[in-house]
């Protein structure tokens, strides 16, 4: 049954909506999303919907995870900062793609649970930090790419500072998914699509 639901997710929720990257589709197929959701919700793990993980937080819908990942164009060895670890699912997708992932979570219980899940799944290329996401992870900067999975009201300056020149940052600002590129210190901002994420808090 689970394989059928994974196939349905890939074909109907991802490919049919324009996800083209073979690497991203492979990651979405092979990282077990049901491990990252509550046991009581595992039957819905491969539906195209966000699911609650506790403390008012959610695991993003598969399409959004795939879309944001594809937009970053991750390649093996890239150093990526994630803000908003949550369940650890987005970090696992990036780790599966061979990236070095540094992920920051404000809520200690989520940081602890995500770290355990990622270790259990043998993702040893993910570092988890319990901290304020607005501050990023200065000790490990700069990053080739940054992905933010909670919605701030503004673009955090510290994150722009920690983005490598030539890098990309994708984040929801209020209800607009936004791509930021940095080129010779110049910042370009492009809105991609309307989204709804939980608020990013300090």
Determine how β-strand 57-59 pairs with β-strand 51-54: antiparallel
CB 2 within 8 A of CB 8: no
CB 24 within 8 A of CB 69: yes
Tell me the catalytic residues.
60
Q: What is the Cα–Cα distance from 99 to 22, expressed in whole angstroms?
A: 16
CB 20 within 8 A of CB 73: no
Q: What is the Cα–Cα distance from 181 to 160, expressed in whole angstroms?
A: 9
**Maximum alpha-carbon separation in the chain:** 50
For every residue of 121-142, DSSP letters joined together read TT-TTEEEEES-GGG--GGG--
CB 87 within 8 A of CB 59: yes
Phi, psi of 185 (to 5 degrees): 80, -10
Q: What is the Cα–Cα distance from 133 to 103, expressed in whole angstroms?
A: 9
């Amino acid at each position: 049954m689970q394989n059928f639901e994974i196939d349905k997710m890939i074909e109907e929720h991802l490919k049919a909506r324009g996800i083209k990257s073979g690497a991203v589709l492979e990651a979405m197929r092979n990282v077990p999303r049901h491990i990252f959701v509550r046991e009581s919700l595992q039957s819905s793990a491969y539906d195209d919907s966000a699911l609650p993980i506790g403390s008012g937080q959610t695991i993003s819908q598969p399409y959004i995870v795939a879309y944001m990942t594809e937009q970053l164009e991750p390649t093996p060895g890239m150093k990526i900062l994630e803000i908003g670890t949550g369940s650890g699912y987005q970090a696992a997708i990036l780790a599966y793609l061979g990236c070095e992932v540094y992920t920051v979570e404000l809520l200690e219980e989520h940081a602890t649970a995500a770290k355990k899940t990622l270790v259990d799944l043998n993702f040893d290329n993910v570092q988890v930090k319990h901290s304020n996401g607005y501050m990023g992870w200065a000790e490990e900067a700069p990053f080739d790419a940054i992905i933010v999975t909670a919605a701030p009201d503004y673009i955090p300056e510290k994150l722009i500072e920690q983005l490598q020149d030539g890098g990309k940052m994708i984040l929801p600002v209020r209800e607009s998914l936004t791509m930021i590129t940095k080129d010779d210190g110049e910042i370009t901002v492009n809105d991609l699509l309307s989204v709804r994420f939980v608020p990013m808090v300090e």
